[in-house]
Chain A
Amino acid sequence: MTTTSPSREAQEPTSVGNGAGALTGLRVFTARSLKHSFRDAESLLMAILLPVMLMLIFVLIFGESIAAGQGGDRSDYLAYVLPAVALTAAGFGASYTAVVVSNDMTTGFMNRLRTMPFPAVTVLLGHTAASMVRNLLATGVVLAVAFALGFRTDAGVAEFAGAVGLIALWILVITVVFAVLGMTAGSAEAASSYGFVLLFLPYVSSGFAPVETMPGWLQGFAGHQPMTPIIDASRALLEGATPGDAWWVGLLWCGGFIAVAVWLAAVLFPRKVAR
């Protein structure tokens, strides 16, 4: 940079002005979001405690009586409910994304980033990456609790990876959905309350009880909503069985949600400039 003013600032060698690339942005913001996650002791505690509690409640309290209706016992229900608990916990974990995105959008932070020479949208990618890390950690906790409670499986590495991969994909789906909610909501409080509905989605699926045991009018929704094939496929894989069509249907749902959410984010992000 050359300048006519003979100042100290100008004489120092400098490489400023080009700005960071998308990769540096992504790295910087992922690190930032992870720091947020791990410094917020209460949220972190919730992220670990919630899956443990859900697992214990469903297996130890409801497990025996739900399983009895299906001619099984508590350990059968443990294997049955495992993917649903993992996804429910991930839903709560991902809802944090709406709050942090909304915070960034409604304070001066995003405005400054938008006047800097690098792609500001990497902030959202950083929040998404951190949410994946947080929620996969929670999934790990769910699996650990399941094994501690006596879950045993014949699933090989491939099946296990398939199940965890599908769960991870759904975590990505709800994270980007919550990120878009956080972007459109006027405040962090509004963002988290919009997301409330999403958190009940797993209960109206094949996750906690068989769809056939629900009232007829509910079966249509429960049987065809996106979480049902994802849960069915994950459950089959975790038990070492073949997931069948549920695998493809689940993948298609995830791909569709991500495509729509990314498109919405691309349209909305440049317009949502705080005045």
Chain B
Amino acid sequence: MAYTDSPLLALDGLSKSYGRQRVLTDLNLTLPPGIHALLGPNGAGKTTLVNVLSTLVPYDAGRVRVLGLDPRRERKRLQGLVSLTGQYAAVDDKLSGAENMLMMGRLFGLSRRDAQRRADDLLERFALTAAAGKRVATYSGGMRRKLDIAAGLIGRPRLIFLDEPTTGLDTRSRQALWDEIRTLADSGASVFLTTQYLEEADALADRIVVLHGGRIAADGTAAQLKSRVGGSTIQLHDDAGHILEEIPTRGSALDVARHLDAVAAARPDVDVTVRRPTLDEVFLELTGRQARERTQEEVPA
């Protein structure tokens, strides 16, 4: 079928507005199968992009292919291949976990028996079997999240959209969910998740797409993004480990050696480390630079 040979996502000039408010502007992006993170601050347009790609809202302009299918014109076919787990839980509080799963299975067109079996499997995999008979209203935040994601898997999607999956979870639940997401990818499905946490993108994603103000500010592996900012830092420490001075460097052997010659002459006993930029710094640099560039564009020459 078409989607097996196609890239996971292929966006060419995707734009989307709500009324007069432009939310996404001219997005160009191609992603292979895998785990990918859409990283950006609140209001960057992350949810809108996920909603467009998962067929929830139509895009305005551009060419969009998800698993080789157009989410506007081939909506129904694509809906059989993707699932969306949004920011707000899509589970029914008044039903039990098992009933929620069964309902979703039936809606995906499974027979009652198949839906039951699939529900049991997924509940077990997400360690929810013990709570399966209880109403979801009694679940903890982490359990609801897990059930929400499990319900999204009932139709065996090829591509799973997770909109801020770990927002509001404690550290342990977050780690557990990361493991689950990795397991998903191992089983052959692709994951496209949004996050505000650089740490999360760094830990999970093959490719990171940085969205800022509705535009793609950068896209690449974590290592690529870090090197794009280029500069490493030479840090000078005292014996207690306190940073005495930070010297920006291009990171090449020659440049580092030149700086260290000067340091060695002045302070021969000081501790030295060379630090690569963190993703946080990359993020601030990228989003800050883009904001600056846009300000310059707007100034008439």
Docked complex Cα distance between A68 and B104 (Å): 59
The proximity string for B residues 273-297 relative to A, scoring 1 for CB distances below 8 Å and 0 otherwise, is 0000000000000000000000000
Docked complex Cα distance between A39 and B108 (Å): 25
**Would you call B156 and A19 a contact (CB within 8 A)?**
no
Once A1-B1, A17-B81, A28-B103 are accepted as A-B contacts, the answer to whether A36 and B94 lie under 8 Å apart by CB is yes
Once A3-B188, A9-B187, A109-B90 are accepted as A-B contacts, the answer to whether A116 and B156 lie under 8 Å apart by CB is no
**Would you call A117 and B79 a contact (CB within 8 A)?**
yes
Interface size class on chain A is 35 or more
Total chain B interface residues with beta-carbon distance under 8 A = 49
Q: Assess whether B194 is interfacial by the CB under 8 Å rule.
A: no
Chain B residues near A114 (CB-CB < 8 A):
55-56
Q: Assess whether A25 is interfacial by the CB under 8 Å rule.
A: yes
Chain A residues near B85 (CB-CB < 8 A):
112
**Would you call A115 and B155 a contact (CB within 8 A)?**
no
Docked complex Cα distance between A273 and B110 (Å): 26
**Would you call B80 and A108 a contact (CB within 8 A)?**
no
Q: Assess whether B40 is interfacial by the CB under 8 Å rule.
A: no
Chain B residues near A115 (CB-CB < 8 A):
54-56, 79, 82-84
Which residues 12-42 of B have a CB within 8 angstroms of A?
Answer: 18, 33
Which residues 4-53 of A have a CB within 8 angstroms of B?
Answer: 4-10, 14-21, 24-25, 28, 32, 35-36, 39-40
Docked complex Cα distance between A5 and B81 (Å): 15
Docked complex Cα distance between A111 and B57 (Å): 10
Once A35-B94, A35-B99, A108-B86 are accepted as A-B contacts, the answer to whether A19 and B76 lie under 8 Å apart by CB is yes
Question: How far apart are A150's CB and chain B's nearest CB, in angstroms?
Answer: 40
Q: Assess whether B65 is interfacial by the CB under 8 Å rule.
A: no
| Chain B binding surface SS class | loop
The proximity string for A residues 137-178 relative to B, scoring 1 for CB distances below 8 Å and 0 otherwise, is 000000000000000000000000000000000000000000
| Chain A binding surface SS class | loop
**Would you call B188 and A32 a contact (CB within 8 A)?**
no
The proximity string for B residues 57-100 relative to A, scoring 1 for CB distances below 8 Å and 0 otherwise, is 10000000000000000001101111111111111101100010
**Would you call B54 and A10 a contact (CB within 8 A)?**
no
Docked complex Cα distance between A44 and B110 (Å): 32
Chain B residues near A111 (CB-CB < 8 A):
51, 56, 84, 86, 88, 90
Docked complex Cα distance between A8 and B189 (Å): 11
Q: Assess whether B114 is interfacial by the CB under 8 Å rule.
A: yes
**Would you call B90 and A24 a contact (CB within 8 A)?**
no
Docked complex Cα distance between A193 and B91 (Å): 26
Q: Assess whether B232 is interfacial by the CB under 8 Å rule.
A: no
Interface residues in chain B, defined as those with a beta carbon under 8 Å from any beta carbon in chain A: 1, 4, 18, 33, 47-48, 51, 54-57, 76-77, 79-92, 94-95, 99, 103-104, 106-111, 114, 148, 151-152, 155-156, 158, 186-189
Selected A-B contacts with CB under 8 Å, 22 pairs:
A6-B188, A16-B155, A16-B156, A17-B156, A18-B109, A19-B80, A19-B107, A20-B106, A20-B108, A20-B109, A108-B88, A108-B148, A111-B88, A115-B55, A115-B56, A116-B83, A116-B104, A116-B107, A116-B155, A117-B109, A273-B51, A275-B18
Interface residues in chain A, defined as those with a beta carbon under 8 Å from any beta carbon in chain B: 1-10, 14-21, 24-25, 28, 32, 35-36, 39-40, 107-109, 111-118, 273-275
- A-B pairs, top 3 by smallest CB distance, nearest first, are A7-B188, A17-B80, A108-B88
